[in-house]
Chains A and B, each alone.
Chain A
Amino acid sequence: DGGITQSPKYLFRKEGQNVTLSCEQNLNHDAMYWYRQDPGQGLRLIYYSQIVNDFQKGDIAEGYSVSREKKESFPLTVTSAQKNPTAFYLCASSKVMDTEAFFGQGTRLTVV
């Protein structure tokens, strides 16, 4: 079955530690995205990538970093510079940008 796999589903980290969230897709999509979801705030775009080896900042990129070395993979690193990292993180992909996106199941990150 084609889809988007995010791992792990739940992640706990101590304050000050970097953590990397995994996102893999086997839909052969060119574009991939990371969104952050907080209660009552909807989804906010962190980073996106239109093609391999290229990515752009979204609306709330500070404290995050990404890489896109393979078409299938778009990992997100939450660095210690992110002031409020506890949130639900959603990865998505689309055939190209400006078309509908398909989402993974999300990773809930809790920083203690």
Chain B
Amino acid sequence: GDSVTQMEGPVTLSEEAFLTINCTYTATGYPSLFWYVQYPGEGLQLLLKATKADDKGSNKGFEATYRKETTSFHLEKGSVQVSDSAVYFCALILNQAGTALIFGKGTTLSVSS
């Protein structure tokens, strides 16, 4: 079935380090892809999205490129800050009527100063 697989965490980095969180997907057809972020005790916020192959989503210094050939949507940031500490979820939605977001299990990022 359709699914999203994320690298297991936690990911622990020092401030200003480079971040990569891997995400791969399995889906019928051509899904839209998303990254959501969850700060402690809060709901999810949409971080970025890409709706077709080779699209690059970006927001707040984070980027991810929709790679159809490798079915991947890895999240990257060049220089992380302590305030980036959160749980990051990769998700997909099939571009078919009546479907809901399918989430990965989440990756916890902890950034220390």
Contacts and interface: CB of A to CB of B under 8 A. Distances in A.
A103 to B, nearest CB: 4
B104 A42 contact: yes
Contact of A97 (B41, B97, B104): B97
Interface residues of A, number: 24
A98 to B, nearest CB: 5
Nearest to B43: A103
A97 B98 contact: yes
Contacts of A101: 100-101
Interface in B55-113: 89, 93-101, 103-106
A46 to B, nearest CB: 10
Contacts of A33: 100-101
Nearest to B4: A42
